[in-house]
Structure 1
């Protein structure tokens, strides 16, 4: 079985080579979009991978409280354990900019969203 490596890189500038049609010679080329390097493609198959956005519930991190890079909110308390430190992040910015809050109490770990009515 032949293994085809679909990714090729420019020997001049190391950027990705993309398929391009040479209409005059009727051949497929691998071309660099940065330095205009071209080479004849070894294979005439071009694969297209279309990604579609699938709506899914936001992923809530159970241990978000331990992430030191997440900002903390002052004056907010966890609605479950009333712990005074709460971290926040945007779980899925492609769908909503609503904040997801995470209690910084390791034994609690409660998470809730901006649109929830039970904010502390």
Structure 2
């Protein structure tokens, strides 16, 4: 919850008053409101899977393979694709997928 001043609509900040209690204070208006209860929110956002970023299974259909050892199963070939993930002056990022159908491990270089 974000508290806003009812008069000037600026953000209210939490400060400690002279009695040691917490209060919402506006930096523009001379108003304050005592904090009556603890309000706590936590949001845990789901991280994107690497396949979601690369375009899913469909993106790996027509890619080339190269001699690259899989770190998971030590298979000696891997599919690869290169994407520009950072700004234009940075090098492209190479993404790999193991050619072993039992493994299908993804990693990047």
Using the size of structure 1 for normalisation, the TM-score is: 0.37
* Greater RCO (CA < 8 Å, at least 6 residues apart): 1
TM-score by length of 2: 0.40
Larger Rg over CA atoms: 2
